């Protein structure tokens, strides 16, 4: 009887994508599973064709190779999907870094403007104090007349 590797359905892909990292059904395992299965049936085929020291195992069925091919195709599709998503993540990461750089520039300009305004306010406070002192001095002079 041929070993039949289950194919990856879109439902199981969606379910696995919600699991997150560190799960038993990782992308690496999903890609290596079909390759290991193909290796296993290829070894079985080679053993069945080799000169018999003992009774060789029966060769794998054609459907086993077809199933392995379908599983490999599904794994390649999964890898392609993963690559697209990774490219999207990288693009979003660069967008975030650009926005962060822009944000830092805005914050630095605001801080510079705050310092300038503090200097202007401080200078205005000194002038107001001088005006108040001058007023107080003229009021005294007027009182003595």
pLDDT in tens, 87-126: 999 999 999 999 999 999 999 999 999 999 999 999 999 9
Cβ neighbors of 67 (< 8 A, separation 6 or more) are 2, 4, 5, 7
pTM to 2 decimal places = 0.50
Distance CA 100, CA 98 (A): 5
134 inside domain: yes
Please give the tally of structural domains in the chain.
Answer: 1
Encoding tokens for residue 69?
A: 């091919």
Give Rg (Cα) of the chain.
Answer: 38
**Chain center to CA of 66:** 35
Strands, E, within 22-69: which ranges? none
Taking residue 4's Cβ as centre, other Cβ atoms within 10 Å add up to: 13
Looking at per-residue confidence, does 95 or 144 come out higher? 95
Tell me the mean pLDDT in the region 15-23.
44
Encoding tokens for residue 34?
A: 């079909």
- Rounded to a whole number of angstroms, the distance between the first and last alpha carbons of the chain is 125
Q: What is the span of the domain harbouring residue 47?
A: 10-143
99 inside domain: yes
3 inside domain: no
137 inside domain: yes
Distance CA 15, CA 79 (A): 16
33 inside domain: yes
Distance CA 7, CA 37 (A): 12
pLDDT in tens, 36-62: 888 888 888 888 777 767 777 788 888
pLDDT at 120: 97
4 inside domain: no
2 inside domain: no
5 inside domain: no
pLDDT in tens, 66-87: 999 999 999 999 999 999 999 9
């Amino acid at each position: 009887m041929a070993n039949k590797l289950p194919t990856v359905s879109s439902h199981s892909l969606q379910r696995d994508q919600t699991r997150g990292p560190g799960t038993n059904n990782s992308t690496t395992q999903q890609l290596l599973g079909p390759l290991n299965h193909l290796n296993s049936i290829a070894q079985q085929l080679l053993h069945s064709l080799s000169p018999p020291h003992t009774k060789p195992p029966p060769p794998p069925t054609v459907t086993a190779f077809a199933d392995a091919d379908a599983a490999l195709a599904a794994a390649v599709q999964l890898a392609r999907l993963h690559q697209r998503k990774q490219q999207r993540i990288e693009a979003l990461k660069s967008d975030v870094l650009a926005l962060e750089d822009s944000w830092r520039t805005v914050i630095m300009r605001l801080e510079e403007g705050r310092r300038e305004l503090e200097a202007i306010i401080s200078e205005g406070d000194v002038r107001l104090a001088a005006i108040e002192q001058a007023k107080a001095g003229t009021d005294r002079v007027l009182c003595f007349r």
